[in-house]
Amino acid sequence: MTEDAGVGSLKGTVAVVTGGASPHGIGRATARLLVARGAHVVVGDVQDDAGQALEAELGHSLIYRHLDVSSEADWASLMDAVIDRFGNVTALVSCAGIALDGTIESTPMADHDRVIAIDQTGVWLGIRAVAPSMRSAGGGSIVNISSVAGAVGQPCLGSYSAAKWAVRGITRQAASELADSGIRVNTVLPGFIDTMMGGQGADQRESLRLNKGHSGATVPMGRIGEPEEVARLVAFLVSAESSYCTGADFVIDGGLLAGPLAEAADWG
């Protein structure tokens, strides 16, 4: 489908997308869609080879920069690069994330600290980094990717679930602090999405896609989601089409949270 400059156009938008390098990820699908709708995009990630390949493919409208979202120094360098190349930032999509298995009792402290640093503090640092630039631009839109794990307790993903709940709190706090600067902040909560993280490996992803697998069986719509479906929701939240939305949660899960969750007890 060709995107045009009509409804939902992102012409004039300068967007930072974290976690956009992974070849099958939600971040990459989002970066591609934002470019297709006319935005300039900077992808920040730790997968440099994959990020540079994306830049080589979409180089006029997209650049890649190394960014560990848990590093305040990396955020400062990224912002210098964005402003130098495209001008002030008007959108941030915080998509970077990791999921490590473990209950509260079984998770090693180092794993817990890493998940919180990337999935929670990374989102907080992103808002701190972009807010001054957005204010200079006269406003902007921030989209933080949480998870259905940020709406329920998720067995065996204790630190991940805690961080994803925190993302919703950070969103509300930022929305209330930044509204008078014309900056909107919203959360997206995906369910099972067909990515490396969602399927935890190519073989499992293929099995989920073909057979619906254990995940598809628990989803009322009977299938897992595609990264491009999440990207379209994110693009809506970035665009002026969502001009009165801020501080809100947007669930995209094929009905997962609406249906019985008991069968999903082995998610981790």
Ligand X SMILES: NC(=O)c1ccc[n+]([C@@H]2O[C@H](COP(=O)([O-])OP(=O)(O)OC[C@H]3O[C@@H](n4cnc5c(N)ncnc54)[C@H](O)[C@@H]3O)[C@@H](O)[C@H]2O)c1
Binding site for ligand X (CB under 6 A): 18-19, 21-22, 24-27, 45-47, 67-70, 95-98, 118, 145, 147, 190, 192-193, 195-198
From the candidates 160, 192, 250, 267, give the one annotated as an active-site residue: 160
Q: How far apart are CA 130 and CA 140, in angstroms?
A: 9
Question: In whole angstroms, how close is the CB of 226 to ligand X at the nearest point?
Answer: 10
The 10 Å CB-count burial string (b at 16+, else e) for 228-257 is eebbebbbbbbbeebeeebbbbbbbbbebe
Contacts with 218 (C-beta within 8 Å, 6 or more apart), sequence order: 256, 259, 260, 261, 263, 264
Question: In whole angstroms, how close is the CB of 12 to ligand X at the nearest point?
Answer: 26
The dihedrals phi and psi of 93, each to the nearest 5 degrees, come to -115, 110
Question: In whole angstroms, how close is the CB of 161 to ligand X at the nearest point?
Answer: 10
Which residue's Cβ lies closest to ligand X? 97
* 244 annotated active-site: no
Q: Which of 67, 233 has the CB closer to ligand X?
A: 67
Q: Which of 21, 39 has the CB closer to ligand X?
A: 21
Q: How far apart are CA 59 and CA 128, in angstroms?
A: 27
Question: In whole angstroms, how close is the CB of 28 to ligand X at the nearest point?
Answer: 7
Closest CA relative to residue 123, chosen from 77, 79, 169: 169
Give the three-state DSSP class for 146.
coil
Q: Which of 137, 167 has the CB closer to ligand X?
A: 167
Q: Which of 16, 137 has the CB closer to ligand X?
A: 16
The residues carrying an active-site annotation are 160
